[in-house]
Chain A
Amino acid sequence: AAGVIQSPRHLIKEKRETATLKCYPIPRHDTVYWYQQGPGQDPQFLISFYEKMQSDKGSIPDRFSAQQFSDYHSELNMSSLELGDSALYFCASSLGFVETQYFGPGTRLLVL
């Protein structure tokens, strides 16, 4: 069965650079969630989208923005990167608002 696809899987950036992470949900899933997991930390919810509209907002820094496109894929744009942004970024998807989300493999971002 198709799973959530994230790209790139690994990314290395310098401080103050920008990064764009992409997420392709499971086919027919219309809801996308973004999480950030720092080293040894639990996943923290950043933001979610339902039918291309922002639905919930968590601890997403102002330097980050995200959107969901007409084909339901989503992109997380990160600007003015800081060392503390180094983390594993997960995307998850679901069909509507349900308790169980399906997670992608994550994008590991390293900011030097």
Chain B
Amino acid sequence: SQQGEEDPQALSIQEGENATMNCSYKTSINNLQWYRQNSGRGLVHLILIRSNEREKHSGRLRVTLDTSKKSSSLLITASRAADTASYFCATGSGGSYIPTFGRGTSLIVHP
């Protein structure tokens, strides 16, 4: 069964706006990662947040993790057309290093 569920499934914004994507999961996790995938291409790792962390920043990216609500959010500030991609969250749990991916959010940033 799927671990991560992204919300919304699709997001369309204008360049310069902020984009927020959410991920909910079902079981306890050790870490949560966010990946970006440009259309039909490889996955690019964006950021990893561990279960004992609440917030993490990387450039224009801000990730939060709320383990009590079993959810995470990815905020992209001042979006650019080049941010157009699908964004996946992936959880790691137990002793496994295999991430379990959610369905992804398709983000379109209009120039």
Q: Which residues of A contact B (CB under 8 A)?
A: 4, 33, 41-45, 48, 56, 58, 88, 90, 92, 94, 97-106, 108
Contact = CB atoms under 8 A, between A and B. Distances in A.
Interface of B: 2, 4, 30-31, 33, 35, 40-45, 48, 88, 92, 96-104
A56 B102 contact: no
A106 B41 CA distance: 7
Give the dominant DSSP class at B's interface: loop
B40 A102 contact: no
A88 B104 contact: no
The winner among B48, B88, B97, B99 for most chain A CB atoms within 10 A is: B97
A88 B101 CA distance: 15
A43 B41 CA distance: 12
Contacts of B44: 103
Nearest to B102: A42
A97 B42 contact: no
B83 to A, nearest CB: 18
Contacts of A56: 96, 98
15 contacts: A4-B42, A41-B103, A42-B101, A42-B102, A56-B96, A92-B43, A99-B30, A99-B97, A100-B33, A100-B48, A101-B45, A103-B35, A103-B45, A105-B42, A108-B40
A48 B98 CA distance: 9
